C-alpha cells in the first residue's frame, strides 16, 4: 500500500511560513527540528496529527527558486487545500488582511476554488465542495 506521508512546500522563510500556515491557515506543528541553518519543519491539518505532513522546506536550491517564480508568474498554485467553505475562508482572510487573495472564489465544476499568496513565494489554491 502506498500513502502520502510528506508533501513539500518550498518557502523562502521558514519562520514566515510557520506564521502563515499555522497562524493564518490553522495547521499544527508536528516537527520543528534544527538542521544547521534550517529546520525540519512539518505541519499537519488541524486535529489530524497522524495525517500527512506538509514539509515547509527552504527554497535554497536554484532550480526551486526558478520553478516557484515561473509558477507564480503564470498564476499556477503550488498546492491545493480543502476548506469547509471557501467563500467564508476568503472573507476571513480578507478581513484579517492575512494575505493577498489572488483569485476570488470561482465555481469550477463540483467545487469552488480561490487562490491566495502564502507570503512565502507561492500561490495556494483553496477549494470547497
Structural domain count of the chain = 1
Residue with cell 506564521: 19
- Residue 53, domain extent: 6-128
Note the pLDDT of residue 55. 98
Whether residue 1 is contained in a domain is answered as: no
| The predicted structure's pLDDT at residue 14 | 98
CA atoms within 13 A on the CB side of 42: 17
pLDDT digits (tens, 9 = 90+) for 56-113: 999 999 999 999 999 999 999 999 999 999 999 999 999 999 999 999 999 999 999 9
Query: What percent of the chain has a predicted confidence (pLDDT) above 90?
Result: 100
> Each residue of 36-66: pLDDT tens digit?
999 999 999 999 999 999 999 999 999 999 9
Q: Does 60 reside within a domain? A: yes
pLDDT of residue 25: 97
Looking up residue 67, the CATH number of its domain turns out to be 3.10.180.10
Amino acid at each position: 500500500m502506498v500513502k502520502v506521508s510528506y508533501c513539500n512546500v518550498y518557502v523562502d522563510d521558514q519562520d514566515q511560513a510557520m506564521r502563515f500556515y499555522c497562524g493564518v491557515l490553522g495547521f499544527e506543528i508536528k516537527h520543528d527540528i534544527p538542521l544547521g541553518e534550517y529546520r525540519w519543519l512539518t505541519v499537519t491539518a488541524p486535529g489530524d496529527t497522524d495525517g500527512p505532513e506538509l514539509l515547509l522546506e527552504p527554497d535554497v536550491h536554484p532550480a526551486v527558486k526558478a520553478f516557484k517564480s515561473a509558477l507564480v508568474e503564470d498564476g499556477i498554485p503550488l498546492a491545493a487545500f480543502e476548506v469547509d467553505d471557501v467563500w467564508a475562508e476568503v472573507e476571513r482572510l480578507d478581513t484579517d488582511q492575512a494575505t493577498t487573495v489572488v483569485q476570488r472564489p470561482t465555481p469550477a465544476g463540483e467545487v469552488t476554488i480561490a487562490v491566495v499568496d502564502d507570503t512565502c513565494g507561492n500561490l495556494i489554491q483553496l477549494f470547497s465542495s
